[in-house]
Amino acid sequence: MRRRLGSVRARATLAATMVVAVALVAAGAAVLLSLRFTLVDKADAEADSVARSAASALAHGFAYDKLNLPDGDENPVEILDRDQKPVVAGEDVEGISVSAVASERLNSETNDDADDRAEGDHEAEDEDRLKSGEVADETWYGEGTATVEGETADYRFAAVDVITKGGVPLTVYAGAPLAVEQDAVDTALTTMLIGLPLLLLTVSGVTYLVTRRALRPVEGIRAEMAAITASEDLSRRVPEPDTHDEVARLARTTNETLAALESSVERQRAFVADASHELRSPIASLRTQLEVGAAHPELLDLDGALEDTVRLQSLAADLLLLARLDAGERPPQDARFDLARVVREEVDSRPGVALDSVASLEVGGSRGQICRVLGNLLDNAARHARDRVAVTLRAEAGEAVLQVVDDGSGVPLADRDRIFERFVRLDESRARDDGGAGLGLAIARDIAHRHGGTLTVGDAPGGGALFELRLPRAT
């Protein structure tokens, strides 16, 4: 049971059934109350009509035995004096018992009248008291029982005050049966008790089937994802339903995620393979030199060993930086520094590099990482330049634009995106020791992107390559 309730179908069915049940119960209660109030109002009107008819006859001077009272079964009538003692009753009416509320109100009014008469106040309140031959405008209602021919039943009673022509104050009680109201309410209640479970069963069944059909593609996506996990084959894709709803968007997003994951895994595999290949060469060279030095100290090439060690250290630093960038390392958001000063310091440390720069230009991010970008660009330019390397820094439309230009052979149009890939070297024919490992430009572009900028390559005006770094200015 717990497992079934854990499914979306079961929870949706249960929720829909509960909502409909609450709505039906509330609607049923409202219908029953409305029906009861309507029937009670009808009974009140009937009882008031009978009571006022008898009261009018008394006000016009009819004697008690001349009153035309209805049958007790239909409308029991009982006339009481001010002491609440029966004066006359309808045919076969053996007794009437009115609810406490109506009785208290009638008794209270009777006592007030008696007190007023005892104190002689009725003359001072002629405007508020009934006169001989008058019927009260107000009618009081209440529920009670009447015993007719030995059988007691529920009635709705109306009570009307009247003063006969002889000045006798009386109260006329007339009742209307509640059997019709009770039968109607019972019939409606029985219908609801039978229909409510059937309707709930219908709602739950329809909801379950509709939800099952709607979630069938989700189950297909889940099954395919489980198969992909088990097989570790990221080239597989989940089925995309031919719809335009949330499930179809979920499938498309899942496939996009799988594609990105596959690309990332392939990239990582290539990275590990290339890194292993690049590390193997300096490590093997360093080991060979150390082994030769251990066997023949006089043949130890310290300069070569030191060069391999430096190269190995640089390569390890590049790999660690790429690993941090791949892990999502972001530059500090609130850090600022003067890019013009960084460029001047870097160019001053490299003889023969021309500089054309603004005096000051602030950007945000990591000063060390931007220094790394500039250093990599200058190293790349120095390896490919014939005679000249130039650096230009300017402000342009809210951006800092840094250009590094060399007068080398330039970068072919077909290779301008590929050179920013990792471990890519266009001059494969030259010795490895003359160039880098193919990581400098890849690192530079990754850093530029994480700083919200771009790094592109194009043709220099006088020939050669032009690398352009754009960074958002600090505001």
The per-residue pLDDT for range 165-212, each reduced to its tens digit, is: 888 899 999 999 888 888 888 888 888 889 889 988 998 888 888 888
pLDDT beyond 90 at 110: no
Helix locations, 232-301, DSSP H: 246-295
pLDDT beyond 50 at 2: no
Give percent of the chain above pLDDT 90.
Answer: 24
pLDDT given at position 445? 92
Rounded to 10 degrees, the C-alpha dihedral 251/257/259/262 comes to -130
- How far does the chain reach from its first CA to its final CA, in angstroms? 60
Give percent of the chain above pLDDT 70.
Answer: 89
Across all residues in the chain, what is the average pLDDT?
A: 82
Mean pLDDT check: name the lowest of 22-31, 120-129, 464-473: 120-129
Rounded to 10 degrees, the C-alpha dihedral 44/46/52/54 comes to -130
**CATH 3.30.565.10 for the 336-472 domain, yes or no:** yes
167 in the Ramachandran plot: left (φ > 0), alpha (ψ -120 to 50) or beta? Answer: left
Mean pLDDT check: name the lowest of 14-28, 292-306, 351-365, 426-440: 426-440
pLDDT digits (tens, 9 = 90+) for 116-137: 444 444 333 433 477 888 899 8
pLDDT given at position 354? 93
pLDDT digits (tens, 9 = 90+) for 134-150: 899 899 998 888 888 88
Q: 305 or 399, which is more confident?
A: 399
pLDDT given at position 436? 61
The topology under which CATH files domain 246-326 is Helix Hairpins (1.10.287)
Q: 102 or 219, which is more confident?
A: 219
Tokens (6 digits) for 348: 């001053």
pLDDT digits (tens, 9 = 90+) for 83-101: 888 888 888 888 888 864 4
CB 89 within 8 A of CB 78: yes
DSSP code of 455? E
What distance in Å separates the CA atoms of residue 252 and residue 449, rounded to the nearest whole number? 26
What distance in Å separates the CA atoms of residue 284 and residue 41, rounded to the nearest whole number? 106
Q: Where are the domains of the chain?
A: 1-229, 246-326, 336-472
If pLDDT is split at 50, 70 and 90, which confidence band does 467 have? very high
CB 165 within 8 A of CB 59: yes
pLDDT digits (tens, 9 = 90+) for 213-270: 888 888 888 888 898 888 888 888 888 888 888 888 888 999 999 998 888 788 777 7
Cβ atoms within 10 Å of 156's Cβ, excluding its own: 25
pLDDT beyond 60 at 457: yes
pLDDT beyond 80 at 350: yes
Q: Residue 309: which of 342, 331, 285 has the closest Cα?
A: 285
Exposure string over 372-387, b if 16+ CB within 10 A, otherwise e: bbbebbbebbeebbee
Highest mean pLDDT among 216-220, 265-269, 277-281, 407-411: 407-411
Which residues, including other chains, have CB under 8 Å from residue 180's CB and lie 6 or more apart? 39, 43
Domains 246-326 and 336-472 share a fold: no
